[in-house]
Amino acid sequence: MELRIDGAVGQLEGWLAHPPSPGPNGRPAMVIVPGFPAAPGGGPNSFRTFPALADRVAEDARMVALAVAFRGMSNSAGDFSMAGWREDLSVAVQYLRTVEGIDGAIWMMGFGTGGALALSVAADEDDVAGIISVAAPADFHDWASRPRELLAHARKCGAISDPEFPADMSKWTKELRDIAAVESAAKLDPEKSRLLVLHGSNDNAVPPIDARAIADAHGSAELRIIDGARHHLRHDPRAMATAIGFLNRRGRPLRSGAA
């Protein structure tokens, strides 16, 4: 179902999907995090395809699934900043904890920038059971080295609509350096937070070596390189089948009587 979540700078657009039947002790829950828009309207990262993914996770992995458009995306209020998106993800996680019918286990699946943010938030949370990082960069040093180009792209894509934003360019740029998926993965406890790292062998935006660095930093991650795939794995059926398979194998708490 479509919903609105109160964020720090206004409401965020979301979609909540429930599995066909409740579990005896509730179901695990997942936040799905889109990546940075590639073109006006989002391009391949458009939020309009993510409700269908949430529905699939609910149906095939039997999880309560929440897809959220962060500030500046789709119909969500606000303008893009890395710290702002991280804050929006934390808000989404907190919201999901209030949803009826979950068993307390929180998962995240993030695409590109969203994958890096999922790892960053998970590193600071105690109850994140697992993360699926899809085509995430190891860090954002490339963006931070060319912030004006990123700002222009964000304006073109509609992720920033306020002509006066950001008020402090140096702070906005610093936020890009503060998020590093490889550092966040190293902070995770492999015994508590499972990790699947998905990447395309022909990714034209983020080199596959970034995926290997993230997986190595975690220490117990499953790494899956999709042969011939490029960056936008949301639209690759092999990648999404791999993600669902991982959830079915590892996404449920080992609990007596769990369905």
Helix (H) or strand (E) holding 10: strand 10-17
Q: Among 67-71, 101-105, 198-202, whose mean pLDDT is lowest?
A: 101-105
Give the domains, in start order, of the chain with CATH numbers. 2-250 (3.40.50.1820)
Q: Among 19-33, 81-95, 151-165, 171-185, whose mean pLDDT is lowest?
A: 19-33
Q: At residue 144, what is the residue type?
A: A
Residue 81 pLDDT > 60, yes or no? yes
Q: Using CA atoms, how far apart are residues 96 and 17, in angstroms rounded to an integer?
A: 11
Residue 103 pLDDT > 60, yes or no? yes
Average pLDDT of the residues in 46-60:
94
| Bridge partner residues of 26 (DSSP) | 24
Average pLDDT of the residues in 130-134:
97
DSSP letter at 206?
S
CB 109 within 8 A of CB 32: yes
Q: 202: number of CA atoms within 13 Å, CB side?
A: 5
Residue 255 pLDDT > 60, yes or no? no
Which is it for strands 222-226 and 194-200: parallel, antiparallel or unpaired?
parallel
- How confident is the model at residue 104, as a pLDDT? 79
Q: Using CA atoms, how far apart are residues 144 and 137, in angstroms rounded to an integer?
A: 13
Query: Please, what is the average pLDDT of the chain?
Result: 93
Q: Using CA atoms, how far apart are residues 87 and 123, in angstroms rounded to an integer?
A: 14
Residue 251 pLDDT > 80, yes or no? no
Residue 223 pLDDT > 50, yes or no? yes
Q: Using CA atoms, how far apart are residues 208 and 82, in angstroms rounded to an integer?
A: 22
- How confident is the model at residue 259, as a pLDDT? 34
Q: At residue 118, what is the residue type?
A: A
- How confident is the model at residue 252, as a pLDDT? 53
Residue 204 pLDDT > 50, yes or no? yes
